[in-house]
Chain A
Amino acid sequence: MANYGAKVSQKGYPVGTCADRFLTFSSSFPTLKYLTPSSGSTTIPSSGSNYVTVTHNLGYLAPYLVVYNGSTTTGVGTSNLMSDNDSYLTTYMTTTQLQIEVSDSFDQYASSIGDTVYFTIYIFLDKLESYTASVIKTSTTSSGSSNNYGFKISKPGYNVNNCTDEQLIMSSSFYSALIHKKGLLTGSSVSHGLGYIPAIFVYEYDSANNRIQTNNLSLQNLHYVTSSSLYYDSSVGTGDGIYYIIFKNTV
């Protein structure tokens, strides 16, 4: 059956023959799409926890990224992905909400009780259901024009001719995260078959509460990735598996 579609390679790679991971876009591989990013803040309590809650109402578990931007004490000029300065963030995603937990020990060596802490939040539209992309091409070739052909699409409201790179939805000049495989891993490993170390997202699955979560104690030792597989240690943590996304891209 004929394979219709479109693909765009990164600059310098021949689109006809380059490996999948050197594509900026391909109709064969889904991209990770995000809803409008949001900001959130709360204070570090003297005991217990405060929460930043974002209601998404997607009706399913979706991947997300939370960036910690700092506190009253540290200032707000930084981004820490999924962590404060000394620990992984504790976050929970249900089918309707994302919650960021801020306990009395949040960012304990850099911030203080009573500080306001700030976050930037990305929630993706894509479901975490099982999916495996085909592996179309694996090795790359030498030929390739250095000329910059391609396409770009700006975000709504921005002029594609003069907007900044960050104001683009997608551009063939910059590569985007193409999904290779995703799903729920409850066994000890899942093979990805890419032959190199790919970029990944992982979240611990809590089936009793139908949610995905991250926290310092479990996520550190739950997993690691090699050039052949993603590994999971079910003896660590409290969950029932990890939801994962493996990208075509290397990190």
Chain B
Amino acid sequence: MANWGMKISRIGVDVNNGDDKDMIFTSKYSCLKGSLGTGIGGNKVVANDGNTETVTILHGLNYIPMVKGDFSFNNTNFQILPYFNLLGSLQIAFNIKADSTNVYLTFNLLELIGPPANYTIYYKCFIFLDKGKL
């Protein structure tokens, strides 16, 4: 069967005989594709009382997508979700998951020793069109 498609090689690579991995793009292999605009951002106030707070995003895909998220305490230094750690006396459990309807970003802070406080958590989330479950 004829192999129709297109490919574009990197600079210095002959498109006719270069390896697929050296192509900028080839229709032989899928790329990660984004859904819901070009990304989602937000912020959330979370108390350090051990209660889980959730941001719920209706994604409208009717299947389970792959989702990726990052967070920051200061809107400057971002780290990949999930994040499970103990920083000083602050226990942190941040996660991101999706089902066939929603994406859920969950934030749980538990202060083990110190006083009650609220933290503003900045998040960014990317919902792929690519399936999170085949």
A: residues with CB less than 8 A from B are 5-6, 10, 22, 25-35, 37-39, 65, 67, 69, 76-83, 85-88, 118, 120, 122, 125-127, 153, 155, 165-166, 168-171, 174-177, 197, 199-200, 202, 216, 219-221, 223-227, 231, 249-251
The interface residues of chain A lying within 8 Å CB-to-CB of B64 are: 69, 77-79
- Within the complex, the shortest CB–CB distance from B26 to chain A, in Å, comes to 7
Pick the 7 closest A-B CB pairs, nearest first: A79-B132, A251-B124, A33-B29, A83-B82, A176-B31, A31-B31, A224-B77
Residues B35 and A174 in contact, CB atoms below 8 Å apart: yes
Total chain B interface residues with beta-carbon distance under 8 A: 57
Residues A165 and B33 in contact, CB atoms below 8 Å apart: yes
**How many Å lie between the Cα of A67 and that of B64 in the bound state?**
11
B90 contacts A by Cβ under 8 Å: no
Instruction: Please name 10 pairs of A and B residues whose Cβ atoms are closer than 8 Å in the assembled complex, sorted by A.
Output: A5-B8, A22-B38, A34-B130, A78-B133, A79-B133, A81-B66, A120-B132, A166-B129, A169-B30, A176-B32
Question: What's the dominant secondary structure at chain B's contact region?
Answer: strand
The interface residues of chain A lying within 8 Å CB-to-CB of B134 are: 37-39, 120
Residues B126 and A169 in contact, CB atoms below 8 Å apart: no
Task: Tell me which of A83, A120, A199 contacts B131 (CB under 8 A).
Answer: A120
**How many interface contacts (CB-CB < 8 Å) are there between A and B?**
189
The interface residues of chain A lying within 8 Å CB-to-CB of B29 are: 33-35, 125, 169
The interface residues of chain A lying within 8 Å CB-to-CB of B68 are: 81, 199, 251
Residues A153 and B27 in contact, CB atoms below 8 Å apart: yes
Task: Tell me which of B32, B61, B66 contacts A67 (CB under 8 A).
Answer: B66
The interface residues of chain A lying within 8 Å CB-to-CB of B121 are: none
- Within the complex, the shortest CB–CB distance from B32 to chain A, in Å, comes to 5
- Within the complex, the shortest CB–CB distance from B52 to chain A, in Å, comes to 11
Residues A78 and B98 in contact, CB atoms below 8 Å apart: yes
**How many Å lie between the Cα of A219 and that of B80 in the bound state?**
9
The interface residues of chain B lying within 8 Å CB-to-CB of A174 are: 33-35, 129
**How many Å lie between the Cα of A118 and that of B134 in the bound state?**
11
- Within the complex, the shortest CB–CB distance from A222 to chain B, in Å, comes to 9
Task: Tell me which of B26, B32, B67, B84 contacts A216 (CB under 8 A).
Answer: B84
B120 contacts A by Cβ under 8 Å: no
**How many Å lie between the Cα of A83 and that of B85 in the bound state?**
14
Task: Tell me which of A10, A38, A87, A166 contacts B130 (CB under 8 A).
Answer: A166
Residues B33 and A168 in contact, CB atoms below 8 Å apart: yes
Given A29-B24, A197-B78, A216-B84: A166 and B131 interface contact (C-beta under 8 Å): yes
Residues B8 and A226 in contact, CB atoms below 8 Å apart: no
**How many Å lie between the Cα of A28 and that of B23 in the bound state?**
11
Given A33-B30, A169-B30, A227-B76: A79 and B98 interface contact (C-beta under 8 Å): yes
Residues B126 and A251 in contact, CB atoms below 8 Å apart: yes
Task: Tell me which of B21, B70, B95 contacts A83 (CB under 8 A).
Answer: B95
Residues A126 and B93 in contact, CB atoms below 8 Å apart: no
- B24-51 near A? 1/0 per residue, CB < 8 Å: 1111111111110011010000000000
Residues A170 and B25 in contact, CB atoms below 8 Å apart: yes
**How many Å lie between the Cα of A170 and that of B30 in the bound state?**
7
Closest B residue, CB atoms, query A13: B38
**How many Å lie between the Cα of A165 and that of B126 in the bound state?**
16
**How many Å lie between the Cα of A136 and that of B15 in the bound state?**
23
Given A33-B31, A77-B100, A174-B34: A225 and B133 interface contact (C-beta under 8 Å): no
Closest A residue, CB atoms, query B103: A79
Given A32-B31, A166-B131, A251-B70: A221 and B85 interface contact (C-beta under 8 Å): yes
